[in-house]
Amino acid sequence: MKSKILALSLFVVTAGVIGLYPMYQQGNAHVNIPGQTTQVSNKQANRIDLVFALDTTGSMGGMIEAAKEKIWSIATNMAQAKSAPEIRIGLVAFRDRGDEYVTKIVDLSSDLDSVYAKLMDFSAGGGGDTPESVNQALHEAVTKMSWSQSSGAYKVIFVVGDAPAQMNYRNDVKYPQSIKMAKQKGILVNTIQCGQDVNTLSQWKQMASLSEGKFFNVAQNGSAVVMKTPFDEQLANLSKDLDSTRLYYGAPEVREQKRKKIEATDKMHREASVESRARRATFNGSASGEVNAVGENDLVEDITSGRADLATIGVQALPEPMQAMSPKEQQKLLVETKQKRAVLKSNISKLAKKRDDYIKKEMKKKGGAKGSLDDQLVGALRMQAKEKGIDYDGKSVAY
């Protein structure tokens, strides 16, 4: 009986709270965690799997910093599709044999906070000579990522660098063979050349051509649009407040996974720029971003949506702050947290709209950003995704 009363009370409160904000989602989209099944709602039936194979040698410092600043706006641009696709991002950082490492891999995941936390650790180093281990990086991007098995998913690799592939290494799968394997898996390969090296130019163009993908060239520093707005700091702070409302529950291994996610988010709040955190707030406010913002095994969403029953959850599976609470106190906490989230999401949505309007006006004053990393990369993504039924018609580029 207590369980029924609790469920009814939460349902009534939730029904009233939903009207407070436009971004509320009741889908079943879940964070993709290795070894754990990912459930995707009908609203997120489409998927985008995007892997960056990124040269991290010494000359690539500007581009690496651009990637750290722009990954959230790239995700936001992908999230603007009418279908609200599930978005997963992965990374292959590469240098060359004899450097500190040849490759470092971050598998595809919709937990973009954790992906970003690892991206933040990358810095430029090594190199000093060319070519680089592009072949190994591309091969591992094709073969070592947990690519979607769906033929309807848009799967793409962006190879980013300023030096050609070393073609003389033994036991090295050359890029034409890797691209052939990628095509068999339905994976497109696009290439982004940084700088003006002529040897890189010819290889990068050939890689894109073999894959029927896109090639484009940017300045050595990436030519990304990085803009500050009067709304960034408040957006970043509101997003941090929203993150503090997560209440994860489940078996010990699940709560350990969620502990790592929270650590990644905390790291981002400590170390990322205010502008980057504002971009993340905008992405998390989208239907696609809800997977990253909260994810699965959140008690507030699961109880109020009816996916779980508090009475059937063991005490040890509850979030630690709730384990010593009475049922009445637990009910009060869940209701208050749900209400707090509604208000925070509503405020974030309003500020994100103001930020977007501000940027559009500033970009208009500057005559646009044609040729920038943003416009070229987003243009390629949207054109190719459309062939998979992911429609971005009429959507402007988000910065």
128-164 pLDDT per residue, tens: 778 999 999 999 999 999 999 999 999 999 999 999 9
Please indicate, yes or no, whether residues 186 and 273 belong to a single structural domain of this protein.
no
Q: To the nearest whole number, what is the mean pLDDT of the chain? A: 88
Please indicate, yes or no, whether residues 80 and 148 belong to a single structural domain of this protein.
yes
Res. 16: pLDDT tops 80: no
Place of tokens 């769906």: 150
Band the pLDDT of 165: cuts 50, 70, 90. very high
Res. 27: pLDDT tops 80: no
Please indicate, yes or no, whether residues 80 and 125 belong to a single structural domain of this protein.
yes
Higher per-residue pLDDT: 208 or 2: 208
What's the pLDDT at 393?
85
Q: Which residues partner with 190 through β-bridges?
A: 158
Residue 327 CB: number of other CB atoms within 10 A? 13
Res. 23: pLDDT tops 80: no
Residue 245 CB: number of other CB atoms within 10 A? 16
Higher per-residue pLDDT: 291 or 33: 291
Sign of CA dihedral 137, 277, 273, 298: negative
43 part of a folded domain:
no
What's the pLDDT at 226?
79
Q: What are the tokens at 80?
A: 């603007």
399 part of a folded domain:
no
Res. 50: pLDDT tops 60: yes
Please indicate, yes or no, whether residues 202 and 290 belong to a single structural domain of this protein.
no
19 part of a folded domain:
yes
Please indicate, yes or no, whether residues 63 and 196 belong to a single structural domain of this protein.
yes
Task: Please state the three-class secondary structure of the chain as a single string.
Answer: CHHHHHHHHHHHHHHHHHCCCCCCCCCCCCCCCCCCCCCCCHHHCCEEEEEEEEECCHHHHHHHHHHHHHHHHHHHHHHCCCCCCEEEEEEEEECCCCCCCCEEEEEEECCHHHHHHHHCCCCCCCCCCCCECHHHHHHHHHHCCCCCCCCCCEEEEEEEECCCECCCCCCCCCHHHHHHHHHHCCEEEEEEEECCCHHHHHHHHHHHHHHCCCEEEECCCCCCCCCCCCCHHHHHHHHHHHHCCCCECCCHHHHHHHHHHHHHHHHHHHHCCHHHHHHHHHHHCCCCCHHHHCCCCEHHHHHHHCCCCHHHCCHHHCCHHHHCCCHHHHHHHHHHHHHHHHHHHHHHHHHHHHHHHHHHHHHHHHCCCCCCHHHHHHHHHHHHHHCCCCCCCCCCCCC
40 part of a folded domain:
no
Q: Express each pLDDT in 191-211 by its tens digit.
A: 999 999 999 999 999 999 999
Residue 21's identity, in one-letter code, is: Y
What's the pLDDT at 45?
59
Q: Express each pLDDT in 233-292 by its tens digit.
A: 999 999 999 999 999 999 999 999 999 999 999 999 999 999 999 999 999 999 999 999
Please indicate, yes or no, whether residues 220 and 198 belong to a single structural domain of this protein.
yes
Please indicate, yes or no, whether residues 81 and 123 belong to a single structural domain of this protein.
yes
Lowest mean pLDDT among 29-33, 127-131, 277-281, 314-318: 29-33
Res. 40: pLDDT tops 70: no
Please indicate, yes or no, whether residues 314 and 202 belong to a single structural domain of this protein.
no
Give how many domains the chain has, as a whole number.
2
Please indicate, yes or no, whether residues 244 and 147 belong to a single structural domain of this protein.
no
Residue 248's identity, in one-letter code, is: Y
Higher per-residue pLDDT: 356 or 222: 356
Q: Which domain holds residue 271?
A: 2-30+227-364
Higher per-residue pLDDT: 263 or 26: 263
* b (16+ CB within 10 A) / e for 371-388: ebbbbbbbbbbbebbeeb
301 part of a folded domain:
yes
Res. 22: pLDDT tops 50: no
Closest CA to 199 of 151, 163, 224: 163
Residue 267's identity, in one-letter code, is: K
Band the pLDDT of 101: cuts 50, 70, 90. very high
Please indicate, yes or no, whether residues 116 and 183 belong to a single structural domain of this protein.
yes
The whole-angstrom separation of Cα 218 and Cα 192 is 7
Please indicate, yes or no, whether residues 315 and 379 belong to a single structural domain of this protein.
no
Tally the residues of the chain: 399
55 part of a folded domain:
yes
Q: Express each pLDDT in 360-382 by its tens digit.
A: 999 999 888 888 899 999 999 99
Please indicate, yes or no, whether residues 205 and 235 belong to a single structural domain of this protein.
no
The whole-angstrom separation of Cα 127 and Cα 121 is 18
The whole-angstrom separation of Cα 269 and Cα 171 is 42
Band the pLDDT of 391: cuts 50, 70, 90. very high
Specify whether the CB–CB gap between 107 and 32 falls below 8 A. no
| Residue 216's CATH number | 3.40.50.410
Q: What are the tokens at 134?
A: 């592009």
Q: Which residues partner with 90 through β-bridges?
A: 51
Res. 30: pLDDT tops 60: no
Band the pLDDT of 127: cuts 50, 70, 90. confident
391 part of a folded domain:
no
36 part of a folded domain:
no
What's the pLDDT at 35?
30
